[in-house]
A and B are shown apart, each in its own frame.
Chain A
Amino acid sequence: MDRMKREANDDQLRRIFAELRQGDQGPVPPFERVWATAAARTGRRPSRVRWAVATACAAAVVVVAVILLHRPSGSDFAAATQLVAWRSPTAALLRVPGDDILRAVPSIGAALMRFETLQPAADTP
């Protein structure tokens, strides 16, 4: 029953669209004309290479503009130099005797402190 109803509805739609198609019998532009106009346009389109070059140039301009806009100014550079040169007033308090040992890299096989013995060497006559 459901299927019959569906088919009847489809038939109705087919009839409706057929009527629409009949009403659409307007003039169709001749194939030869449309094809010839398209053929005449073939050379006028910019090639992909040109597009690629144009895109690359535009990208380069954007990159240069961004670099120029974000380049540090003279006053920024002076401030950065001052910041690097700054030392804390209490930095001297952090220095303790013997901190050279802590800063230096010890070499393998060498003692940090040298001890000298008072005993004479065994082979001494």
Chain B
Amino acid sequence: MDTDALRDQLAACHEDAFAWAVHCCRRDRRDAEEVLQTVYLKILDGRARFDGRSALLTWLFAVIRRTAADHRRRRLLRDWWHVAPGEGEAVASSNPGPDRELHDSEQRDALSGALTRLPERQRQVLLLVFYHGCTVEQAAAVMGVGVGSARRHYARGKERMRALLEELGWTE
């Protein structure tokens, strides 16, 4: 696939890609934009190549997930290097958390709270399936795990999510 055709397809799924990047960056939209920019840079550089073995969106989501994980690691390292002892709390509080954007709805607060309390894999598979409309197989490809493993995370995630929502007082 040539660059122009790929660019057009990427433009078509840009919104979905950004939404997934936001989730991978713990709902920090600025970080998500940086991550997406790095993903496009990887594509332009040829470090990320679409070989057509999966759907474009699945491949793109997988690249975003890996890039966001790298970005998070680099940021942790940078914060650890630059932040003097005692300043950590101030930096953490300046970081927009999931609750800030969803404070207008108690129910959404409860949901976002429950999501943040889920283990990483369970959170990712639930978001991919229920939020982004992927199948469990596609979610497995994005997460870089086997389908069996993804199914286990999916089942456990749903159970845990229900328990957390009940605990947090979720009402329909």
Contact = CB atoms under 8 A, between A and B. Distances in A.
A24 interface: yes
Contact of A38 (B37, B107, B108, B161): B37
A21 interface: yes
Interface stretch (B7-15, B71-79, B84-92): B7-15
A41 B130 contact: no
Given A14-B130, A42-B44, A35 B33 contact: no
B101 A26 contact: yes
A24 B22 contact: yes
A98 B131 CA distance: 97
Interface of A: 9-10, 12-17, 19-21, 23-24, 26, 28-29, 31-32, 34-35, 37-39, 41-42, 45
Given A20-B131, A38-B39, 18 more contacts: A9-B162, A10-B158, A13-B126, A15-B172, A17-B111, A19-B111, A21-B19, A21-B131, A28-B15, A28-B19, A31-B11, A31-B14, A35-B7, A35-B11, A38-B41, A39-B40, A41-B41, A45-B41
